[in-house]
Structure 1
Amino acid sequence: MMKPSPYYRRSNRIPFKTGVLLVIAIISTTACQSSLFESHITPAPTPQCVEPTLTLGTIKFGIGSVTREADGLPKIPENKKDTAFWVEGTTINYVFGLSPTKDHLNLNTMLKAGDPIVINWADCSRDDYVVASVETIEPNDASFFDQSSGGVTVYVQNESATLVIHGERPVVQSNEIPEATSESSIQIDLQILDFTQPDDQTIQFRINLTNQGANAITLTDEDIALIADNGPEVAALKIEPVMPQELRPGDILPLTLIFPKPQGTSAVLRIFDVTFEEYFQ
């Protein structure tokens, strides 16, 4: 199964202040190809890099696909206990259906808020969420197909009710004791839009950077770096748009960052003093 198109995928905003550490798990892969700039073009088929999977907590499913007609609910195959069926066309709020088996209908007793939800796509990219809610709704209620905001939704429908599990992007809080914020300090909000590995030599991030401080800030090449296995900082191979860029209070700057793929087992992305540690399997 190819990862859903278009490649532009909206995600819930993740706020950060300086000094916040976010851990993002990433799969190390080979020969992955993905275009981030063809938002309404279905790419030509390419060989699968990994077998696509959906993981709810500790429960892993293979991914199949089904179609949905009009505003109804798609037909989910029965007795497929090891498969989650992605509903084609859900590319912002990814919707997966599960067969109405006894175990699946009891997922509300197995999952709780904060449990991980992980999608590993066939093109080697990965999306991480956490359980935000688990609820039971009327069997013919299709409101969870709404695509106005990003996330992931997993549902199990039988004749009497529908179990709906909704996931959102994780928000990580700093463990440090908050300090008084000076008017001159840099205050940024980072929205992670996408992470891909275009080939076996590079990795690529798409992010939005928002200036939430009271003063204008200037972003330069030196404010962006990658550190692999406690080694020296590595500059980006390419940054779009070109640096420097000034952000006035409230400005949002979309960034595409391409780095050499680290050879070790982990790497840290730094933007100003905000860091993201990435682990490669």
Structure 2
Amino acid sequence: MIKLENESLLVELTEQGAELTRIYHKKTGLDYLWDAEKAFWGRHAPILFPTVGRLVDDTYYVDGEAFHLTQHGFARDKTFTAVELVGNQAILELEADDKSKLIYPFSFRLRVTYTLLEDQVQVEYQVENTDKERIYFSIGAHPAFNVPLTEGTKFEDYYLDFGQKEKLDTLLLEGPYRSGKLKPLADEKTETLALDYSLFENDALIFEGLNGNEIAIRSKKHPHFVKVSFPHFPFVGIWTPGDGAPFLCIEPWFGIADSIGESVELRDKAGIEHLDPEAIFTSEYSIQLG
């Protein structure tokens, strides 16, 4: 277990999946990150790489050769190496090996940096192409936050705050795949969305191209909040597994699930990123607690 600490926050993470496992705010006295109770969902904040979402038949192709990956890829189940640890920062790294190349035939280096800055956890992803050829990938975050956050409140006492008015059209899923249809969640642009489990009857809400690229979980019954800011991420998912689950995920993504149909070449997959040899892809998001 790796611990990071500053005047405001105590954060714990593990080398297994480079996953955050606890975010505690010393001033509010609250734990914000989901505790991974397996009765609901046994993860805290997995990293999604080299795919986001589900592949048709768990299959994709590279130059006509079939490869197989389960939902959200393999990084969340790999052991990372801690390459730098200081009081308020941890850098963890994962490199391709013979085993990973059986399911993802590219050489890469994935580096994840966690930095505490006042009441924020800043997360940076770096993907380096160490192959001789162009590589293709997606990457995303999947942090789960306690909702309700305080005693005496319930899930329906909370709402999402987008920071500005947004057109909230969710990409609809049919099973685990995109159906190609959109569903408006409000008649006009809105800054907030009240939480209710019925929103998630068809799995996650998925938004593409938000203007503000930030989402906060708030309640009118207390001043505490979680805000996730994700500049430049093209997609974001909002998810809880069902009625009674006491948490909500805010998931910034560079990538998305396959659409209904046939398995495709990885280079043709919706939302895919590409890197030429020696190039480095960088993205970051932050979690602010209050």
TM-score normalised to the size of structure 2?
Answer: 0.26
Higher strand share: 2
State which structure, 1 or 2, has the greater radius of gyration over its C-alpha atoms.
Answer: 1
